[in-house]
Structure 1
Amino acid sequence: MITLEKEKLQKTRAKTQATGMVENVLGQFNNAADQIDLNPNIRRILSVTTNEIIIHFPVKLDSGEVAIFKGYRVQHNNALGPYKGGLRYHDTVDVDAAKALAMWMTWKTSLAGLPYGGAKGGIQINPKLYSQSELERITRRFTYALGDNIGPEHDIPAPDVNTNAQTMAWIADTYMSTKSPSERSTYQHVVTGKPVGSGGLEGRDRATGYGVYLCIKLWADANNISLKAKKYSVQGFGNVGNWAAYFMEKDGAVLVGVQDAFASIYSEEGIGVEALFNYANTSGRGIKNFPNTLEINKDDFFSIDCDILIPAALGNQITEDNAERIKASLIAEGANGPINAAGERILLDKGVTIIPDILCNSGGVITSYFEWLQNRNGELWKLDEVIAKLENKLRTSFQNVSRTAEERGIDMRTSAYILAIERIEKAYVQRGIFP
């Protein structure tokens, strides 16, 4: 009974959080739309999703038992091109979470100048409870159930929370197997984030984290600030958090605090990124009990004395309940929607600079676009070429957002939204609305 009650409570909290994320992204959108007096008809279109797909599908587990899983794919808008966005495997995945994340993807791809729209989805599952062979069958069955709701010129999934290159390889293989043998090779770009040996892009693994670091570096350079010896904390030590920390350390910054699902740790002298990464991936309990660090209460994590905070976990982590305690002067959003509206108002009133998610963590979708192009054109891009192209894209976006913020006297998030929305509005104005 205790276990069932705990599970019920967790689901209730997840549902509340997801609903809050939808309210958050719509509030951000409407705030920017008010600033530019967005055409009311276009506002109505962009305020809702185009398609919300919910799939129940059976999978035979290793035990022989058949379990029913629930999968989602929400497609928000495709005015600029095919839907694009990740698939996550997590307990918190539901239609509201997917709606919010799909909307964020629309703004993210538009701001980056990509020929994409926005989508998101995944499976409501705790992947740690299943074997590798079970996860493969779950993934392949989900892909088959999605059918032509995804496609290389229609909707292109990518990795997200608890999914990776292997997941994308299973999806690509399953999807291609449904096509005729003569056509299969032309469908390889149905997903991005694949292993390099299966059509993936060199550098895609580090792209989001590197983009977070690069945005911090661009902000520091613009303000004549050196990152050397600057203290920073990272919430979430998965792919994004780890790579962001790796590049921050390379530039002389000092990691003093880390939080993952298992623990929150602190060290005033600094935490070695590579050592922590190796430990977290072999301990079976994440960063918990990492040597020479102090384990602190999870509710005290945002109170750590640092210059820069990188929230790279899940949404709605920084709220009115903890924003006042944050000491960092810069927050770089590695996650999607890590700050709710009330928390952001507190932070902005304190003079904290926030590099918004649709800019800060866009390195992943930018390099996904590079992989998509690589597959379509039958090319192979080298790592240095990928990084150079990524830097160019991000630098342009960062400069545009900073300039608009300064000219209008607004925060960076509102500036980023304005630029993203205006590009979509232009497409609708030029093309009209059918019929």
Structure 2
Amino acid sequence: MITKTPKNKRQQKQGMLENVMRQFNHAADIIGLNTNIRKILEVTNNELVVHFPVRMDNGEVEVFTGYRVQHNNALGPYKGGLRYHPTVDIDAARALAMWMTWKTSLAGLPYGGAKGGIQLQPSKYSQTELERITRRFTYALGDNIGPELDIPAPDVNTNPQTMAWILDTYMSTKSPNERSKNMHVVTGKPIGVGGSEGRDRATGYGVFLNIKFWAENKKVDLNDKKFIVQGFGNVGYWTAYFLEKEGAVLTAVQDAYGSIYNEDGISVEKLLAFTQANKGSILGYVGALPIENKDFFGLDCDICVPAALGNQITSENATNIKAYLIAEGANGPTDVEAEKILLAKGIDIIPDILCNSGGVIGSYFEWLQNRNGEIWHLEEVMEKLERKLRGSFSKVLKVSKEREVDMRSAAFIIAIERLEQAYEQRGIFP
């Protein structure tokens, strides 16, 4: 079922969808992508929009809108997160699903791309309400997800508990002898219900590793380098945690509540403890001063890690950026026009489909363990993750140099060429 989005909302979210299409078309033009295959890749396979009622704690019924967009499955089952956020709509899901296709292809995983979520602000609902919302959404999705069809994972404002609710609801619709075969319907689960060691930190660790690989290539010592992080959720925290361990200094953080700054450094662990006691907000942390949100990206630093939402670095603030490296922890944080400005200034960008791919690689490891009845130790997971990411980074760097293009274009070229090869070898039915 496809429902039309009101014009004003289409305009609000067109930026992200337009960005991914411009990125795709740019890379497709460089490699001379087969015209027929381009037609396939520039549209989504399936788009599901569901409206479902949920009874609130006060007895009132509220109707929610959920989305699941399946972009492409030429390389394997659809794979991608579910986010709970007011900005979730069909165009956002389309853009994010496309990015997932390129991300899984670049990583060499046997997956396609999907994305979705529910349009809501989670902070307005109790834990019991969120559980009922999640379970009802899962039921509404029905057989449109599955361990060999479409495998959701956590994303913005969702977590291992969310995945546990989805797993339990999905399995309750199966016969008893089928339930053990469906543990891998979602990834990012709690350890106790089939989750993998290291999955919680995989995305942030991957962002850190890409920064480390970049530094090795540039012969840059990360010790004492100043970095700022937008978003202090799972990705932002773990990225900051590992960078701090490497000797880098966190000087500023921005989240949905505001921005804080301390040129002498902010303790990652102390800030985490504060946010956990302060309903997730960084505001009021005594180890830093509040600053205006508009001043965040213009702060003096070496590395900038946007790890929140899309379209955060734009032509309006790109000229102010002083960092010489942007490591994209979020999906689509830099729009096309801003990227032109940054590249012209000589600023390096580690693109999202490479930089934050540690999450989906970690999910693949969890999926494999569930599928094969195995349990891997944390050290094994982290070692495999580093090996996989180092391979991806090296390939992107090689193509970037050979074709004399930026890293994003190189990453897209690798991803698209793998898909092109799959279609050329398989043919197109009928």
> TM-score, normalised to structure 1's length?
0.97
SS of the residue corresponding to residue 123 of structure 2 reads helix
Match of residue 72, structure 1, among 36, 46, 67: 67
> Once the 2 structures are TM-superposed, how far is the Cα of residue 292 of structure 1 from its aligned partner?
3.1
Name 1:8's counterpart in structure 2: none
Where does 1:203-218 land on structure 2 (aligned, <5 Å)?
203-218=198-213
- Taking only aligned residues, the RMSD between alpha carbons, in angstroms, comes to 1.1
Structure 2: runs of 5+ lacking an equivalent = 1-5
For 2:119, the equivalent position in structure 1 comes to 124
> 1:201 is matched with which residue?
196
Amino acid paired to 1:195: P
* Gaps in structure 1 of 5+ consecutive residues: 1-10
Deviations along 1:375-426, whole A, 9 cap, x unmatched?
0000101000000000010000000000100111100000000000000000
Are 1:49 and 2:49 counterparts?
Answer: no
Question: Which residue number in structure 1 is paired with residue 262 of structure 2?
Answer: 267
Is structure 2 residue 368 aligned with structure 1 residue 400? no
| 1:64-103 equivalent positions in 2, closer than 5 A | 64-103=59-98
What letter is aligned with 1:90?
H
Distance 1:118 1:410, change over 3 A: same
Percent identity of equivalent pairs? 69
Match of 1:371 among 343, 366, 374: 366
2:345 matched to 1:345? no
- Aligned letter for 1:206? R
Q: CA offset at residue 13 of structure 1? A: 8.1
Q: Of residues 351, 355, 360 in structure 2, which corresponds to 1:360?
A: 355
Q: Which runs of structure 2 are paired with 1:213-362 in the superposition (5 Å)?
A: 213-284=208-279, 286-362=281-357
1:233–1:257 contact (8 Å) kept in structure 2: yes
Equivalent residues of 1:107, 1:417 under 8 A apart: yes
**CA displacement 1:112-146 (0-9 Å, x = unmatched):** 00000000000001111111111111100100010
Report the CA distance between 1:223 and its aligned residue.
1.0
Deviations along 1:18-77, whole A, 9 cap, x unmatched? 211000000000000000000000001000001110000011111111110000000000
Secondary structure of the 1:185 match is helix
Residue 280 of structure 1: how far off its partner (Å): 1.1
Q: More displaced, 12-21 or 260-269?
A: 12-21
1:281 Cα deviation from its structure 2 partner: 1.4
Q: 1:5-44 to 2 correspondence within 5 Å? A: 15-44=10-39
Q: How does 1:108-123 map to 2 (within 5 A)?
A: 108-123=103-118
| Aligned counterparts of 2:242 and 2:409: Cα–Cα separation in 1 | 27
Contact 1:15 1:92 in 2 (8 A): no
Inter-CA distance 12–256: structure 2 relative to 1 (3 Å threshold): farther
1:141 aligns with one of 123, 136, 144: 136
2: CA distance, partners of 1:13 / 1:222: 45
Partner SS, residue 265 of structure 2: coil
**1:17–1:316 Cα contact (<8 Å) kept:** no
After the TM superposition, list the runs of 4 or more consecutive aligned residues in structure 1 that deviate by more than 3 angstroms: 11-17
Q: Distance in 2 between the 1:368 and 1:319 partners?
A: 30
Amino acid at match of 1:395: R
Separation in structure 2 between the aligned mates of residue 217 and residue 373 of structure 1, nearest angstrom: 27
Count of residue correspondences = 425
State the alpha-carbon separation in 1 of the partners of residues 338 and 219 from structure 2. 28
Give the TM-score of the pair, scaled to structure 2.
0.98
Q: Would the alpha carbon gap of residues 13 and 368 (structure 1) be closer, same or farther in structure 2, given more than 3 Å must change?
A: farther
